[in-house]
Chain A
């Protein structure tokens, strides 16, 4: 079995052991030989899914459904059930997840622990808002049934709680009715960030799903930030033909660091812009629309051994344009390109978790190959800009934020830390947690 690593493959935990849970445990005390941390499919980019010198509780075999109510759409499943399994099973029956992230290789427990969001945050809020209840198993042997109305403080701490409050053994979530598995997609090119911001103002009310992808490569001390806005609505019309889904390709373990570089990305982005260069409307199957990278298994290995860092931040609307322009200028000045760059919006809906990332604003995600101290310094600079604008950075993607930044982004951290299970920990938590 593959080593338990994080998706960004930076940092690497060399001294951690994993215990595979095959059945829902009743008691974790027999496993207590070090600190514990639940681990699903390892899609967190940084170190929030790593536990150096401790133990991981691998939940990927806890993948059984428990019940489904055809009348209400309430699904109950074990923590390791994947979103892919849920969609494969329930899309043919006319149900969909209310919130989907950019990959379907995510477990139910992981979706809750990171309070994940999708391209429809303005309408649907975050994943945690659709969680009806779950069971939390603590290291002292206590089991808590958590819901908005029962054990509410523990419920709020566990949603977005990064696995630190105990082990979620099962959860019940609300699915939404789905007219067809297809989406009516509109793509509109934009030539810079300002254009993107004016486009979203125009289109965000008429479309449920919204995401912008842009060129984050530095060209002659300048980030062009031209890109494509992709809008989507569930299609109401049945279609006869099946959209091609293609065979998944897997990236081998050993890829050279040089494969992804500014030149290969310039070529790729140019080709992409040629294809997407004008406004288009088409019908897409939900899989390529929501999960374009899922057909490239282990795409994270394209970055080679060095790994990569993702910086995902949200900045309140009024400050977003200025802050993000400045971020791109800083990148350009330092000559550090982002190989995957996307923009989304967060709406007003309240996130249920104490450490939930979503809050109203514009969301920017930038992937950087890890180039040592230069990359870390750049992201440190980003933290100043985002922090000053009352924004926040997503812990699920983080491998380097400082304690000070964490406390600024997550003012309810003290309330949260009271609910952390004394025998649960993670590399991330030990790094950002303020010492009291």
Chain B
């Protein structure tokens, strides 16, 4: 039985992935900001076959609470073997440009809070010589673009942090997975116009479930984003700076 800690557990992507683990009889410790949404997700996972579901409401920007959260998860599940980091926010770029406070908060949510959590988790998995750390980053972190570079900065930094962590934990047999979704039609992107490249959250959930099972390192979801980002990152800066992306 897999014992999973999920942050941002009420998000569309996380709950889609969790459903697949629930069908296999996993146990969950779910963390999110609002109690009634967590409850709705928890009930759903129970019906779908989860062995056990515990929940905790928390604002993960309170870094000092992280230690206690992980202790609770350990205690409730009798040990953790999988961590899925799925919390995050998508700031309006213009608002971040206008305000350092907004930028700082977004960097804290999307990058620093994850580093804080993973520092604890890594030190926990390393001596045990087992465990899976799966983190939702983004294709936005592959290159800074005028339309979205604050979010992109946080996700790009996160991707690099995970590269280092993977390198460190490889010899301890700990699996580190970086998930890079493209455009996902979820509450986070409710205001965007949707086009051909958009996918439903369950597509990403399925990819996460599969990548954890097969111990992949980095996955683009859907896979074609790998090609798109290969092209985008190959454009010389001299030309890229004049493009509208």
Contacts and interface: CB of A to CB of B under 8 A. Distances in A.
Interface of A: 1, 20, 22-24, 61, 64-68, 75, 77-78, 89
Given A64-B40, A66-B47, A67-B47, 11 more contacts: A1-B185, A1-B194, A20-B190, A23-B37, A64-B41, A64-B44, A65-B43, A65-B44, A68-B47, A78-B40, A89-B48
Interface centre among B15, B44, B185, B190 (most CB of A within 10 A): B44
A136 B183 CA distance: 34
Contact of B44 (A20, A61, A66): A66
Given A1-B194, A1-B198, A20-B190, A65 B48 contact: yes
Contact of A61 (B12, B43, B48): B12
Interface in B3-22: 12, 15
Contacts of A75: 47
Main SS class of interface, B = helix
Contact of B40 (A20, A23, A68, A89): A23
Contacts of A64: 15, 40-41, 43-44
A65 B47 CA distance: 6
30 contacts: A1-B185, A1-B194, A1-B198, A20-B190, A22-B12, A22-B187, A23-B36, A23-B37, A23-B40, A24-B40, A61-B12, A64-B15, A64-B43, A64-B44, A65-B43, A65-B44, A65-B47, A65-B48, A66-B40, A66-B43, A66-B44, A66-B47, A67-B46, A67-B47, A68-B47, A75-B47, A77-B47, A89-B23, A89-B47, A89-B48
B93 to A, nearest CB: 22
Nearest to A26: B36
A75 B44 CA distance: 11
A404 B129 CA distance: 75
A23 B43 CA distance: 14
Nearest to A20: B190
A61 B37 CA distance: 13
A75 B12 CA distance: 22
A67 B43 contact: yes
Give the top 5 A-B pairs by smallest Cβ distance, nearest first: A65-B47, A64-B44, A1-B194, A68-B47, A22-B187
Contacts of A77: 47
Contacts of A61: 12
Contacts of A78: 40
A61 B102 CA distance: 30
B188 to A, nearest CB: 10
A85 to B, nearest CB: 9
Nearest to B23: A89
A243 to B, nearest CB: 21
A262 to B, nearest CB: 34
B44 to A, nearest CB: 4
Interface in B159-214: 185, 187, 190, 194, 198
A29 to B, nearest CB: 19
Contacts of A20: 190
A64 B19 CA distance: 10
Contacts of B198: 1
A309 to B, nearest CB: 29
A56 to B, nearest CB: 15
Contacts of B40: 23-24, 64, 66, 78
A66 B42 CA distance: 9
Interface in B26-60: 36-37, 40-41, 43-44, 46-49
B190 to A, nearest CB: 7
Contacts of B15: 64
A20 B37 CA distance: 16
Nearest to B42: A64
Interface in B41-97: 41, 43-44, 46-49
A89 B12 CA distance: 19
Nearest to A89: B48
A92 to B, nearest CB: 9
Contacts of A66: 40, 43-44, 47
Interface in B139-163: none
A169 B190 CA distance: 21
A13 to B, nearest CB: 18
A1 B15 CA distance: 20
A380 B118 CA distance: 68
A82 to B, nearest CB: 11
B191 to A, nearest CB: 11
Contacts of B44: 64-66
Nearest to B194: A1
B21 to A, nearest CB: 14
B183 to A, nearest CB: 11
B8 to A, nearest CB: 14
Nearest to A1: B194
A20 B192 CA distance: 13
Contacts of A1: 185, 194, 198
Nearest to A19: B190
Contacts of A22: 12, 187
B179 to A, nearest CB: 21
Nearest to B198: A1
Contacts of A23: 36-37, 40
Nearest to B43: A66
A77 B43 CA distance: 10
Nearest to A93: B49
Nearest to A65: B47
Contacts of B37: 23
B49 to A, nearest CB: 8
Contacts of B185: 1
Nearest to A2: B194
A246 B72 CA distance: 44
A75 to B, nearest CB: 8
Contacts of B48: 65, 89
A23 B187 CA distance: 10
B205 to A, nearest CB: 12
A67 B42 CA distance: 10
Contacts of B12: 22, 61
Nearest to A90: B47
Contacts of B43: 64-67
